[in-house]
Structure 1
Amino acid sequence: MDWGLGNLGFVIIVWLNMVALTFLIKPALQALKDYDVQRRAGKDSVFDPKVARIANADFWERVGD
C-alpha cells in the first residue's frame, strides 16, 4: 500500500514536469540560440529577452535596464 501511493505520487510529479517542459522548450531553445550567436561572435554572453524574442520576461527586462 505504501509503495503504491509513492509510485502514484511519482507519476503525478513526472506528468506535471512533462507538461511544464512543453511550455518551456520554445523559450529555452530561443535563449540557447542567442547564447550560441553571442559566443560565436566572441562576445561575453548577456541574456536579453528582447533579442532572444522571449515574451513576458518582465524581471529580466528590469534587470537589464
Structure 2
Amino acid sequence: MEPDESLSRLRADAAQKLGSEDVDAYSLDELDARIALCRAEIARCEARKAFATRHRASAEALFRKS
C-alpha cells in the first residue's frame, strides 16, 4: 500500500467513525458540544480550502504570465 493510500484510508476511517457513532445516548449538552466541534471542523476545512484555492489561482497566474 502506498503512503498516500494509507493516509487516505485513515482520513476516511475517521470520518466514517464520526458519522456512524451512536449519539442516541448523548445528553443535550453533549449534543451541543458535538455540534459545536463539528461546526468548528467544517469552518477549519472551509478556511483551508479557500487558502488552497487562492494559492492555486496565484500559481496558475504566475505560470501564465511567463
The TM-score by the shorter chain falls in which range? 0.3 to 0.5
TM-score between the two structures when normalised by the length of structure 2: 0.40
